[in-house]
């Protein structure tokens, strides 16, 4: 799966988790750019992404993420399932 497809699927996850269909993902987007992206919603987001892509992240992998671009790279490296 390539980055553009990941961004499309990830956008749907963000819209669901944050209940905001206006969020537009970019590589430089961070938690401070999204209303409501607090620690609780961060956990919800990680769990939703794992479910949507059929992959698992370690706590250290998640802890190293600083923006959406790094999240996409991690998803791509994990080899998400299709569908």
In this prediction the pTM is: 0.90
Q: Are 50 and 13 in contact (CB under 8 A)?
A: no
Q: What is the pLDDT of residues 45-65, one digit of tens each?
A: 999 999 999 999 999 999 999
Q: Report CA-CA distances (Å) from 83 to 19, 43, 62.
A: 22, 23, 23
- CATH topology (fold) of 3-78: 1.10.1200
Residues 3-15: tens digit of each pLDDT: 999 999 999 999 9
- pLDDT recorded at residue 81: 60
Residue 75 has pLDDT above 60, yes or no: yes
Query: Higher model confidence: residue 7 or residue 83?
Result: 7
């Amino acid at each position: 799966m390539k980055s553009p497809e990941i961004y499309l699927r990830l956008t749907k996850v963000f819209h669901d988790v944050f209940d905001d269909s206006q969020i537009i993902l970019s590589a430089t987007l961070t938690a401070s750019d999204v209303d409501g992206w607090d620690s609780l919603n961060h956990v919800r987001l990680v769990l939703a992404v794992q479910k949507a892509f059929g992959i698992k992240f370690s706590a250290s992998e998640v802890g190293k993420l600083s923006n959406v671009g790094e999240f996409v790279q991690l998803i791509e490296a994990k080899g998400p399932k299709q569908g």
